[in-house]
């Protein structure tokens, strides 16, 4: 069974984001997985559904949002590990001694796109997907696995992030202290834990 298509629009204006979301759900039969505010005063609309419907919804949102769309992403076949990292209350936790890759982006849309590219490029796990709140609106993804695979995942994610990339690093062998302390990071999608994207 194919994964659902997912699209996200990231607005600099809360008011414009709300009216754009209204236009999106009126335009096409999509499920609104998340629509709401994130730091610092941005508005996100995340929709899921079949490819054509998501494309139509995004087009409607872009038209209404005009110059207030900060970033966007359209993934016609999003990897289920990315969906899981967004909505699961207990994501995979890299072990000490594993390699760890970190990709940091300026926007939420860019990090979701980067995470999808990375997980599809190599045999890695997504240890964490940090999105917006508590991060000044930025995003980051952690990839874990053997060094060669983590390097490949980071390379693919960096290429996909493009101009929205803030920084990327690879740690060849994660220290136990760091492994234990990585899991205190805030997560903005608490409101949709348990929501099945595409349902």
In b/e form, how buried is each residue of 15-54, taking b as 16+ CB within 10 angstroms?
ebbeebbebbbebbebbbbbbbbbeeebbbbbbbbbeebb
- Whether 198 shows a pLDDT value over 60: the answer reads no
| Stated pTM of the model | 0.87
Would you say residue 93 has pLDDT above 70?
no
Kind of pairing between the strands at 5-11 and 42-49: antiparallel
Q: What mean pLDDT is predicted for residues 58-86? A: 95
Range(s) of the domain holding residue 55:
5-75
- pLDDT grade for 91, boundaries at 50, 70 and 90: low
Q: Phi and psi dihedrals of 49, rounded to 5?
A: 165, -160
State whether 104 and 67 are in the same domain: no
* 39 lies in the same domain as 108: no
In this structure, are 84 and 70 located in the same domain?
no
195/64: higher pLDDT: 64
Question: Would the pLDDT of 143 be above 70?
Answer: yes
Residue 199 in any domain: the answer is: no
CA atoms within 13 A on the CB side of 181: 5
Q: Are 127 and 89 within 8 A, CB to CB?
A: no
Q: Does residue 171 lie in a domain region?
A: yes
**Does 67 lie in the same domain as 84?**
no
Say yes or no to pLDDT of 197 above 60.
Answer: no
DSSP 8-state code for residue 92: -
Q: With cut-offs at 50, 70 and 90, classify the pLDDT of residue 178.
A: confident
């Amino acid at each position: 069974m194919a994964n659902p298509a997912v699209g996200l629009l990231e607005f600099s204006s809360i008011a414009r984001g709300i009216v754009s979301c209204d236009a999106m759900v009126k335009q096409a039969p999509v499920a609104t997985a998340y629509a709401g505010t994130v730091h610092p005063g941005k508005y996100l609309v995340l929709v899921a559904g079949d490819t054509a419907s998501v494309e139509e919804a995004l087009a409607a949102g872009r038209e209404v949002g005009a110059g207030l769309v900060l970033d966007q992403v359209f993934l016609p076949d999003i990897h289920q590990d990315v969906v899981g990292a967004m909505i699961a209350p207990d994501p995979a936790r890299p072990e000490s001694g594993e390699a760890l890759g970190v990709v940091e982006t300026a926007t939420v849309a860019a990090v979701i796109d980067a995470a999808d590219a990375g997980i599809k490029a190599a045999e890695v796990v997504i240890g964490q997907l940090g999105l917006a709140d508590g991060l000044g609106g930025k995003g980051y993804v952690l990839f874990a696995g053997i060094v060669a695979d983590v390097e490949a995942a980071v390379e693919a994610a960096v290429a996909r992030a493009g101009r929205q990339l803030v920084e990327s690093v690879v740690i060849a062998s994660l220290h136990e202290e760091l492994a234990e302390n990585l899991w205190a990071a805030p997560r903005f999608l608490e409101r949709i834990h348990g929501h099945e994207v595409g349902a």
